[in-house]
Amino acid sequence: MTMNIRISLIILVKSLLITMMPYAHAATICGADATTEWIYKLKGKRVALVVNQTSRIGNALLPDTLKKRNINIVAIFSPEHGFRGNNDAGAKVSNSIDSLTGIPIFSLYGSAKKPNPKQLANTDVVIYDIQDVGVRFYTYISTLHYIMEACAECNLPLLILDRPNPQGPAIDGPVLEPAMQSFVGMHPIPILYSLTPGELAGMINGEKWLNNGLKCTLTVIKLKNWDHNTPYILPVKPSPNLPTPQSVALYPSLCLFEGTNISVGRGTDTPFEVIGAPDATYGSFTFTPRSLPGSAINPMYKNQLCFGLNLHSVPAYGFDLKYLLDFYGKTPKGKFFTNAAFFDKLAGTATLRTQIEAGNSEEQIRAAWQKPLDSYKQLRKKYLLYK
Instruction: Give the whole-angstrom CA distance, residue 207 versus residue 229.
Output: 25
Instruction: Give the whole-angstrom CA distance, residue 327 versus residue 260.
Output: 10
Lowest mean pLDDT among 2-6, 198-202, 356-360: 2-6
Q: 123-137, pLDDT tens digit by residue? A: 999 999 999 999 999
Pairing of strands 306-310, 285-287: antiparallel
Average pLDDT over residues 126-154: 98
**pLDDT for 14:** 35
Superfamily name with CATH number, domain 31-221: Uncharacterised protein PF07075, DUF1343 (3.40.50.12170)
- pTM of the prediction? 0.90
In this structure, is the dihedral angle defined by the CA atoms of residues 289, 84, 237 and 326, taken in order, positive or negative?
positive
Q: What does each C-alpha distance from 85 to 55, 93, 200 come to in angstroms?
A: 11, 10, 23
Average pLDDT over residues 143-156: 98
Give percent above pLDDT 90 in the chain. Answer: 83
Measure CA of the first residue to CA of the last residue in the chain; give whole Å. Answer: 43
CB 139 within 8 A of CB 238: no
CB 57 within 8 A of CB 63: no
Q: Judge whether residue 211 has pLDDT over 70.
A: yes
pLDDT band at 295 (very low <50, low <70, confident <90, very high): confident
Q: 34-56, pLDDT tens digit by residue? A: 999 999 999 999 999 999 999 99
Instruction: Give the whole-angstrom CA distance, residue 331 versus residue 53.
Output: 39
Per the model's pLDDT, the better-predicted residue between 11 and 369 turns out to be 369
Ordered by start, the domain boundaries in the chain are 31-221, 245-349
**pLDDT for 5:** 37
Instruction: Give the whole-angstrom CA distance, residue 47 versus residue 104.
Output: 12
Q: 225-260, pLDDT tens digit by residue? A: 999 999 999 999 999 999 999 999 999 999 999 999
Q: 72-105, pLDDT tens digit by residue? A: 999 999 987 667 544 444 445 567 787 777 888 9
Q: 336-380, pLDDT tens digit by residue? A: 999 999 999 999 999 999 999 999 999 999 999 999 999 999 999
Instruction: Give the whole-angstrom CA distance, residue 128 versus residue 220.
Output: 10
In this structure, is the dihedral angle defined by the CA atoms of residues 18, 161, 104 and 242, taken in order, positive or negative?
negative
The burial class, CB within 10 Å (0-12 / 13-18 / 19+), for 258 is: buried
Instruction: Give the whole-angstrom CA distance, residue 18 versus residue 318.
Output: 24
**pLDDT for 262:** 98
**pLDDT for 146:** 98
Q: Judge whether residue 325 has pLDDT over 90.
A: yes
Can you name the residues that pair with 191 across neighbouring β-strands? Answer: none
Instruction: Give the whole-angstrom CA distance, residue 277 versus residue 263.
Output: 6
Instruction: Give the whole-angstrom CA distance, residue 129 versus residue 57.
Output: 10
**pLDDT for 26:** 53
Instruction: Give the whole-angstrom CA distance, residue 304 versus residue 215.
Output: 50
Q: Judge whether residue 8 has pLDDT over 50.
A: no
Instruction: Give the whole-angstrom CA distance, residue 61 versus residue 49.
Output: 12
Q: Average per-residue pLDDT in the chain?
A: 90
Instruction: Give the whole-angstrom CA distance, residue 253 versus residue 352.
Output: 13
pLDDT band at 24 (very low <50, low <70, confident <90, very high): very low
